[in-house]
Structure 1
Amino acid sequence: MKGFGIYKSKKYLQRVLISIMLSMVVVLMALAVANTYVLEDSVRRNQEQSNLKVLSQIQYNLTYMNEIITHLSNYVNKDNQLATLLFDMKLPKMDFIRGYQRMSSIMESASFLHSIAIYNHTQNEIYGTTSAFLLDGGKTKSSIRDWLFNPSKPHPTSRLIPVSLEKADGGIDAFAFLVTNSLKPFSRAESAIILYIKSDWVFESLKRMDAVSNDKEGNEIYIADQDGHLFSSDDAVTDQDKAKRDQIKQLVQRDKAMNQQQSGFVVGKIDGSKQLVSYMDDGVRNWTIIYVQSYDLMMKDVRSTRTKSFAITGIFLVLSIGLSIWLSYKLYTPIERMLRRIRLQAPRGGSNATPFDGDELHLMSDNYMQLSHKLQEISSEQIVSKYYLRKLLTDSSLFTHHDMLEVIEKHGLGISVKDELLVCVLRIDEFQAFDRNTTGAAKKLYSFAIVNIAHEIMAKQHLCEVVEVRGDHVVLIVSNQSAGAGEGDHADRASEPAATLAEQVVPIIKDIQQTILHFYGISLSCGVSDSIPQFPYISSAYNQALQVCNYKIIYGHMAVITPDQIKENLFNKQSAIPDVIERKLSEALKKGQMSEAGSELEKAFTMLATFGYDDMLRAVSNLAWVVKNTAAEIANNRVIKFDVDLEYATLITQEKETLEEMYIALLSLCARICEGQRPATMERNDMILETIKELVEQKYADINLSQQSIAATVKLSSAYIGKMFKDSTSMSITEYMNEVRLKHAQQLLETDDYTVIEIMEKCGYSNPSYFFRLFKGKFGSTPKEYRMKKSIS
């Protein structure tokens, strides 16, 4: 509950958290919905394409079935035994019997035939094969006659026509196929053979096609004739089925009228459930093939995927909420730090505390406005008071007792004229870097903060004044009078044993240093003066505090230094490092002995720590010059360049503020000097080797060039330079000379038209056979062969 209360009090954090959380929730939910919508649309489109293929295959199957029946009808129409039934005016009994037998044999040969009927227009008689046709007293014959001779609806020939032979509910049990000698619609003036095809044969074929193409149950296939009547394989057609078929017909007709296409897809409510209806026109038979599927069944996997998607989205929502909380607190951290700083300075409790109803930004804004108003309230009187304080620090003897009382009373200065006083100087460490890296506005802000924090912390226990001087330090004038104590309390406090004023002030100064370092990252060192009896000695105390503060060169940054700590330094008469230390340091550097150089440097700085401040700087500068001059002397006596920045030595006292930093800088410089040196013998040998190689490169064309002539040139013995060259390069001087000469001979052969003899002479050879032998040993061919190969290539 406590954590919830803290969260509840942070209104801006609530806004950040809710904004991030809602953004993540909206994005994740939108993504989940969009994914399911795209998935459903993709599944529907794939199913539509699959249905289109199924309908196309059904259309092809119907066409193929129509061709089978057409072939059978042509065969039947040309049968001689059936011709008597078709055309004879008087039919002998035996011909009648043979015709019926022939129709029976045809029925047995074609399993898809329901029955056969023959119309003889000369007799106006119909003959049929079914038992009902023969035994029902002429009802079937009458039904066939009524259908066949319907004047309002002429029947096309060689086409499957859905008919109802035995059903009275409108359901079809066969397809009629009229066969005549003409292709015109049937008329009573011509004979015809009527082949009745089983409806199951047509619809079962379509169902098998559907079963192969689709594994979903509950799919239905309908055939709509040109009048819009729907037919299926169902034997019984109830009123509910009729209503369902009417809904399917309306959906298809509406979509056809809207899109004007021969095939299409429509989704709608049929018999209370959502269905996908696919249709395709069969132009040959004027039929429309309709394929009805349950939309919910088709989308079963999509719904399952949607459920999983929302479950995964829910998991990610929980994770996003956790991430939102973490991210919100991460973004809120700078604001919370600022609030801590504001609350540190804000009044705690009391009647003056005002309730706050806004969020954190409003709180900071109000705090900023209060601070701005507070800054604006600094009047000319306050500016003048700062002027008098600075004047008091520079020359306090100008103020008489009466003048001082008047200034204190008029400007409200926190300085006691009766109690002892103390002056503290707070100086910014590494001020050059601070001044270089901080803008002017930021400097003013930091100065204002240091002055106010120092005054607030010190004023809790002592009457004091704080003023900024020259930008790099702040001065505190502390009175040995408790904050809020009146003049009447002085005698009572003086009679009580207590710590000295300096002992009371030092812990408070350390508290000021830590507070400023914590909030602003600024390190301050402090110099504390001796206690003075009255205000006329403030200038002297200020100068003393400045001098004492300089001794942070010994005690380091963040030090609080009192005069007692530097008494030995002030009374030390020694002002220079003994010459023997400087001499040993120089000798160690020349010899490259880093351990000895470091030891001498450590002795010097141990001694330096007891000097006065000015003597310290002078002695460190002298040490730096000793190191620089030694390095310069080493560099002058070396052949190889000495890569050390010697000017850096003279800048150490300017860039470093403490003896420790100066010691490390000089020690590092000495290490680089020692590491940069190499043995003198190695330098001499390198110089001789480079000289020999340079002589060979310059005089390779001289026939008289030899190891002896080179030794005479460098003023050394032939044996010495020969051994030194062999040890260093793994080849003799003569071998090196031949390498250089042959290299130049190779270049001349490739680029110039000189003869081989001329090239030999230009490369310092006088004996052709010796030159040819050396060249072939180097390149594997004679000079002429080499030139020929290069010219060809």
Structure 2
Amino acid sequence: MGFVRKLKAKYTSRLHLRKMVILISILTLLSLSAFATVFYFVSQEKIVKQQVQSNTKVLQQVRYNITYMNEIIKNMAISIFFDEELMPLMNSRSEDIFDMHNRMKKQKKRVDSTSFLYSIVVYNGKTQSFYSNQSKYALESISEEDSDKLLANFLPILNKEVPWDKMKLMPMSTTSMLDDKQPNYDIFTLAMYQSLDYYEKGESVLFINVKSEWLLNNLKMLNQLDGLNSNGDFFIMDREGNVLLPSHTDHSDRLELSQYLNAESTEMLETHNAKYFTATLNGAKQIVTIMDADVNNWQVVMVQPYKSVMETLYQIRNTLILVTVCFLIVMSVLAVMVSLRLYRPIDHLMLQVGGDGQSEPSSISAKDEVDYVIHAYRSMKEKLAVLKTEQTSKRNIVKEYYVQKLLKESDSINPGEFRQFIKDNALHIETDSSYVMALLTIDERSVRQMDAQLSAFALMNIVEETFYRHFQCEAIDMQTGHLVLLISISDESEGTMDTISELLREVKKTVTGYYGMAFNVAISEPIEGYTELSERYLELQEIAMYRIIYGMDSVIYPEMTADNRKNEDVGISLDTEQKLIESIKLNNQDKIKLQLEDIFAQLSRLNYHNMITSLFHLILVVRKTITEMNTYKIQPITISLNVLHQSLSEQKTLEEIKNDFLRIFEELSEEIQESGKQKNTVLITKIKEIIEDNYKDENLSLQGISSMLKMSSAYVGRMFKASEAMSVGDYMNEVRMKHVIRLMDNENYTIKDMMEMVGYSNLSYFWRLFKKKYGTTPKEYRQKKAVR
């Protein structure tokens, strides 16, 4: 009991153990179930095939019996047909009653002495009489109501109303008529006549009638001898599916069997000259075996209950179920024992990582013990990684501090301190060698999707990994937007510098491929000793600034910037600056582009500081020029120059800054043109307002309007005519005539009064203008209007 309690406690507190037991049990159950299922169905198929083979043997014997019986009856028919005792019964036209009686008596004895004969019937075609059972029957006296149904069934044959063949067995009934719905076939009849081919009406016929029980008794005897106990039934059927034997079969059974045999959808399997299928007959599943009898187109059919055939298999199935249940019980116990055995390492591991034997893993947010161990392992691994990272970080901080000190204060460090510094920090540089320094500046625009510190870290790792294969070197992030690569070299030959350049190109290709990152490199000349590192570092910082000329993806050597650093020019020439200002004011884009090309060519030759100063000065010049242009404009130019300041702050190249200037000047040109259009619109509107307000003044003229606008009369007249397609004078006349028409409605005003009110002093001039405008004189116009 103590072991059971201990087992129960361990099982209920261990989730993984439970899973193992359940998994082993399920696998065992599935395996046994699959085996039992496969065994059952395979056995079922084998038993059916074996039973069909046994049925085939019996049916072959039945077929042989039918063939043998057919031959015996044929031989007997031939012997009787040509028997001298019987021939007078068939062919005589006259009758001797006593002689006929004796002859029929002999045939009666023959029937009684032969076990399978039912009767012998002779039909005399000449006298149209039947001789049977020692009696004579006239043809006209036979009817369906007679007790002897056999003779009545011969009438359709003799009258050729039904098809029949010579010397072939056909089913016949002695108790019912053949045209009944359910004729009772209890004998087989074989007919023989004189003609070689078809029966001619009026011929004499010999009918040999055979008992069907003789064949059935033989079949039953075969079943007993074969040891079969399958409760099977035999049927003899014709090709149309009509059951010939046994006659006692229920009509519904006959119909169902006939439908299955004739149905095209019935799937029949073949084996050993026989066919078989399973079907539901009379509400029960049956095995049906069929074989051709080779006689009269008959088929021999054997029908057996499926249940009786499978009785042994059902016993095996029940035994399998019992064995499976017992085996599962045993396997369940074994599964628990095996699981406990397999669980021991996990149990020990749980104790090692801190899980006690009584607590549930779920209490620590774990699915099971394995998940608990995994979580514990990951936690310890993460803590260890944090400790290693902290340790490495501290070591790197110290290392970065001393490397930065070396680059900034190398002239103050003595050789002993330098060696000790390299040893303490495990730097990958030589103490007594020459050096090459490379300053790498990352283009911030190419790494906006990455953290700046992460991009510097990635670049530094790729640089070190690439250069470690060929040189002793150290890479350090100076935390000022660039990295420094310090390389120890054994010689200062061109081959060494070429190798360094090739490695830098490889680094660029790798970084661009993985991160899409661009960076500029400034490389120093070989440095003799470590004491020059500070001076060369400052020089490289200045050289790196010239990426504004060569681009952010360039590699810059000291000789590439030597002329710029020596150039003492402080800016662009005043003449070029003045030409640019004039081109801007004239809005001449072609000249602006030429002047910009000249200016930036001058900028590219300056040293870096003067170059930047000149760029800011150029922005101020443009701003001042725009301000001057706005002094005399009705609509001021409002273009922003912030994009130029942004270009300088983002450390774009000279080419990119030049393109930004060109875009600014293009926008400026468009705004000037738009401003001109707006100015013309304002001018025309103002002229129209002056005319509308002063049309009564007879001294109003183009010169007066120009004076009011402080513009030349020629310019005002040209602008107005270009906009309105008429002169200022014509427009004044249009306005005055419009007001005259309005005054016409007031009959208190004379023509002269109206003329003076709209600013005309000459009456004939007024009449001429009015008639030109309206095609009539003012007086006539007023009269017509009054009539209307």
TM-score by length of 1: 0.44
Larger Rg: 2
TM-score w.r.t. the length of structure 2 is 0.44
